[in-house]
Amino acid sequence: MQPFTVLTAVAAPVDIAKLDTGMIVPGRFQRWPRRTGHNDYAQVFLHDLRFDASEKPRAEFVLNQPAYQQAGILVTGPDFGCGSSRESAAYATLDFGVRALIGASFGDVYRGNCMQNGVITIVLPQAVVSDLMAQLNATPGVTMTVDLPRQNVVAPNGTTHAFEIDATRKERLLKGLDDVGVTLQHLPQIEAFEAQYRIDMPWIKPLN
């Protein structure tokens, strides 16, 4: 996955409490294929909030407003990503171009899936989140900065807010490592073990 270090991007306020994974990616899109290097799930991200029954964009929805259409950061309502454990919700978030989510709370599984795909989820006090939303609404299209090495968020007005993150999660995001990437760091040792295994147990035929 792509490493995450410092991101400065347009931020959008999505002030909806308990926006669950079924709203992030409606169930009818769950069987969509996803190809490496393509943003296949971008068009289904928050689909039923972004589009009406005729597939026309809802002009009133924040991410359809011109100032927010290039948003790379979302400031969210509480419990964003609650509900089912569908990993496609994290795929859609990333494919839409969002690399950072800031809120008072997130669904635990969704948060883990986002981190595994290079999207950082930052928990700040509700009072801070509400203030950030007010600033974004006051100046549509304004940017914010998420600095992972320093573990802080820089608000539109320049105020800095520190956040906590698990040390292992931080290291993986900085290096761009998911579970497979972490395993591949030990590839020489794995290959050496496999080679010795075949010598010690020659009667076991390799799968290939």
Pairwise pLDDT comparison (83 vs 206), residue with the higher score: 83
Q: Which range, of 43-52, 102-111, 117-126, 176-185, averages the lowest pLDDT? A: 176-185
Q: Which range, of 39-43, 85-89, 124-128, 135-139, averages the lowest pLDDT? A: 39-43
End-to-end CA distance of the chain: 28
Inform me whether the pLDDT recorded for 187 exceeds 70.
Answer: no
Give φ, ψ of 68 to 5 degrees. -110, 0
Give φ, ψ of 75 to 5 degrees. -100, 120
DSSP state of 158: S
Q: How far apart are CA 121 and CA 103, in angstroms?
A: 8
Mean predicted confidence (pLDDT) in 53-81: 96
Average pLDDT, the chain: 91
Confidence band, pLDDT 50/70/90 cuts, at residue 201:
confident
Q: How far apart are CA 114 and CA 87, in angstroms?
A: 8
DSSP state of 81: T
Instruction: Please tell me the predicted confidence (pLDDT) of residue 182.
Output: 63
Please provide the size of the chain in residues: 208
Q: How many CB atoms lie within 10 A of CB 75?
A: 30
Inform me whether the pLDDT recorded for 193 exceeds 90.
Answer: no
Mean predicted confidence (pLDDT) in 79-97: 94
Q: Which CATH superfamily is domain 6-176 in?
A: Aconitase, domain 4 (3.20.19.10)
Confidence band, pLDDT 50/70/90 cuts, at residue 184:
low
Sheet holding 152-154, edge to edge: 120-123, 100-103, 73-76, 6-14, 143-147, 152-154, 160-162
Phi-psi bin for 18: left (phi > 0), alpha (psi -120 to 50), beta? left
Inform me whether the pLDDT recorded for 155 exceeds 80.
Answer: yes
Q: Which residues pair with 76 in a beta bridge?
A: 14
Inform me whether the pLDDT recorded for 37 exceeds 70.
Answer: no
- At 150 the three-state DSSP class reads coil
> Are 13 and 189 spatial neighbours (Cβ–Cβ below 8 Å)?
no
Mean predicted confidence (pLDDT) in 187-196: 71
Confidence band, pLDDT 50/70/90 cuts, at residue 202:
confident
